[in-house]
Amino acid sequence: MTQRKKKILIIQIFIFLFTLLFIYSIYRDKNIKVEIIEKNLKQEETANTDTNVFEDVEYKGIDLNGNRYLVKSKVADFDIETPEKINMTIMSATFYFKDGTVLTVDGDSGNYNNKTLDMQFRDNIKAVYLTNIIFSDKLDYVSKDSLVTISGNVIGESIQGDILADKVVINLSNKNVSASMFGENKVKVKVKENEKRF
């Protein structure tokens, strides 16, 4: 074998080994990445096995007084162990009363119990009934008592006047409303002129 053929053979062997090493390094890195992704997916699946998440959820029903209602949420989830307790984000509810009137409630978050039919709204609450609007931090609806309890920076606005209170309780059965303040403060009511007091 001539000197020239030996050099060509050595170069070919070197190129072959270099190519093998290059291919091995490429596929070795891909396998590592795939394993990492698979591990992350398995961890996420394990972390979320106790919770079911849904989007654009609606619940329709009739409360214990025979009034229809509709509860909606942009995002909702529940724990598998307590599926009746639905956590909601961007939550709204509409109550259709037998007398033809409608109450709507909106909030940033809350929850709905599909067994007791109770609802809790939290943060940036807006409740509208006829010409009355109430803003607050919290609103709780207890179905068996037909009571809506509104609390936390309660501001009520209507064509008759405005109200500031710490807590407002509305009985949906007889439409009675009571307002109160914590401590020695008094409920503030501003009656608009030329309008009847509510």
HEC profile of 39-107: HHHHHHHHHCCCEEEEEEEEEEEECCCCCEEEEEEEEEEEECCEEEEEEEEEEEEEEECCCCCEEEEEE
CATH superfamily, domain 51-191, is Lipopolysaccharide (LPS) transport protein A like domain (2.60.450.10)
pLDDT in tens, 135-161: 999 999 998 888 889 988 888 887 777
pLDDT in tens, 126-141: 999 888 889 999 999 9
The model's pTM: 0.65
How far, in Å, are 44, 89, 96, 145, 163 from residue 64 at the CA level? 40, 25, 13, 9, 30
- Give the separation between CA 125 and CA 69, rounded to whole angstroms: 18
What does the domain layout of the chain look like in residue ranges? 1-49, 51-191
pLDDT in tens, 33-91: 444 344 444 444 445 557 778 888 888 888 877 888 889 999 888 888 888 898 999 99
